[in-house]
Amino acid sequence: MKLPRRRFVSSDAAMFDSLLTDRETQLRLLRFLVVGGGSALVQVAVLRALRTRLGETVAFTISWAVSTTTHYFANRFWALPSTRDDTGRQLFEYLIAVALSYLINLAVFKLLRLRFKLSPTWAALWAVPPSTVVVFLLLNYRVFGR
């Protein structure tokens, strides 16, 4: 039995259009991308410093943890300022989002290293974009929601 496909209805389009045209969301996205770029640079710097002394996966994991710490504080207090007062729960939700981000990043990093033979630096950089959209949506609308 063939199920009917869901059509893109006007309410979906209106919601998507409002997300793209909402000035505050645009500014939050821009700041989020700046924080992401800075965090990626932190990750690459730490990865390059550690990769000759530690195994590649360990160096990647440490660089990712340092980058994520930078990412949390920059997003929490600048890019996506939040009015929530339940900071413990907010931190827990952030950790869930970054765990998902880590899984996506590590999977892409390994794929790019093993299948496409990219250098650790390039693989780490290209591993960031796939999780960016998911993480922004989670952080902007849930974790650091207004």
Q: How far apart are CA 116 and CA 42, in angstroms?
A: 24
Please report which residue ranges of the chain form alpha helices under DSSP H. Answer: 10-21, 23-50, 56-74, 87-114, 120-127, 129-138
Closest CA to 123 of 133, 137, 113, 136: 113
Q: Residue ranges of the chain with pLDDT lower than 70?
A: 1-21, 146
* CB distance 71 to 39 below 8 Å: yes
Q: For residue 49, what pLDDT is reported?
A: 94
Q: Report the predicted TM-score, pTM, of the whole model to 2 decimal places.
A: 0.68
Q: How far apart are CA 98 and CA 13, in angstroms?
A: 29
Q: For residue 102, what pLDDT is reported?
A: 84
CB atoms within 10 A of CB 127: 26
Q: For residue 14, what pLDDT is reported?
A: 57
Structural tokens at position 5 = 């496909």
